Structure 1
Amino acid sequence: MLGGFSVENDEVNNQWTKHEETIDKFIQVIAKNMNLYGITPSVGRLYGTLYFSDDSMTLDDMRDALKMSKTSMSTGVRALSDMKMVEPSFKKGMRKDLYKSEEDWYKSFTSLFGNRWRHHTETNIEEADETIHELLKLKDNTEDDELKEKIISDIEKLEYAKDYYRWLMKFIRVVESGEVFKYIPKETKTKDD
């Protein structure tokens, strides 16, 4: 009888191990793909670990799970928190800070996409304005008609770029506001599916 229990117990242990390996594999995929959003793989692994954790985690819990320094965990949590992908969690009687992942990936995406794209787009608009300003000064100071024509042509291209960036800012606002979901509805599964 004890032998049967041991074999059954080994099988359950093997199944749990297989489960952990399967989840770890998916966390690696998350980490790898998060660089699309400017997130390092280590921070991506941190998010994946928090996402699949049934309970909120302390920095010590994260350090133990990922075998990384507490400083790295703190930096990663701060970065994820800034992107609204991780939020503080509270548990009565717990003195250490607890964190949990934002489980609404649509919300995380709209926040992350908006922050990243807004910054880059605003920078591009500013750079285009500065370039136009410099080209206009150069145009005013040159007697070379061919150069003046080239400058006028380049300014037209820069104005076109600015039109595109202004359009992109409108798109970013549609994403950030959640209005994008009117046009591209969220995929949702019900318990009956």
Structure 2
Amino acid sequence: MKENEILERTRTMVIDAIAQNMNLYGITPSAGRLYGLLFFSDKPLTLDEMKEELGMSKTSMSTSVRSLLDLNMVEKVWVKGERKDLYTIKEDWYQCFFDFFTIKWRTAITMNSSAMEKSMANLKELIADPNIPEDIREHALMDIKKLEERIDYYDWQNRLIDSFETKEILNFIPIKDKKE
């Protein structure tokens, strides 16, 4: 039936776009396709149903589901009489955005800040030595200044993330009412 083919093609086009977009943010294309499948599904799906629909291996499917669960983009749901785990997307895309970025950004900030703070401590120790050559001291002082600027930047990023978690950001960029 021609109408069914059009429906499937348009869904595939959106699923491919979602997969490519998620790949830009470090989520595998297979997890992106899985998310797209769940987006268009009219009911929660089991791992077996998703595996069959996408033609993915059980391992890849399980890894993708776990990744999306960790990012709070999908959730496990309970259906009376169903013994297998069922999954569906979280419908609040705004909250998914907040969760995804806060998880990813906090991880990056923590890694970078930690490395920079340890480096600054080492550099401060180095410049405290009265016997180091002057050119080394100058380079160390310049590095400390650069690192302090980046620490300030991470502080700003943490405050931005806080505004996502508290939803204070919505005071500045409100969600439009669907009636608009």
TM-score by length of 2: 0.94
| Cα distance between partner residues in 2 of 1:24 and 1:188 | 29
Determine which of 72, 82, 88 is the counterpart of 1:94.
82
Following superposition, the deviation at residue 129 of structure 1 comes to: 0.7
**Partner of 1:93: helix, strand, or coil?**
coil
Asked if 1:34 is matched to 2:25, the reply is: no
Indicate conservation of the 8 Å contact 1:37/1:112, yes or no: no
Following superposition, the deviation at residue 36 of structure 1 comes to: 2.8
Matched letter for residue 36 of structure 2: G
Q: Which residue of 2 aligns with 1:69?
A: 57
Determine which of 140, 150, 171 is the counterpart of 2:160.
171
Following superposition, the deviation at residue 18 of structure 1 comes to: 0.7
| Cα distance between partner residues in 2 of 1:35 and 1:170 | 26
Indicate conservation of the 8 Å contact 1:50/1:57, yes or no: yes
Q: Which residue of 1 aligns with 2:146?
A: 157
| Cα distance between partner residues in 2 of 1:121 and 1:87 | 26
Q: Which residue of 2 aligns with 1:181?
A: 170
Q: Which residue of 1 aligns with 2:46?
A: 58
Q: Which residue of 2 aligns with 1:132?
A: 120
| Cα distance between partner residues in 2 of 1:59 and 1:48 | 14
Q: Which residue of 2 aligns with 1:79?
A: 67
Q: Which residue of 2 aligns with 1:143?
A: 132
| Cα distance between partner residues in 1 of 2:176 and 2:97 | 14
In the alignment of these two chains, the number of paired residues is 179
* More off after superposition, 58-67 vs 145-154: 145-154
**Per-residue displacement from partner, 1:54-83 (whole Å, max 9, x unpaired)?**
011000110111011122211111110111
Following superposition, the deviation at residue 20 of structure 1 comes to: 0.8
Larger radius of gyration: 1
Following superposition, the deviation at residue 50 of structure 1 comes to: 0.3
| Cα distance between partner residues in 1 of 2:128 and 2:101 | 40
Q: Which residue of 2 aligns with 1:7?
A: none
Following superposition, the deviation at residue 168 of structure 1 comes to: 0.8
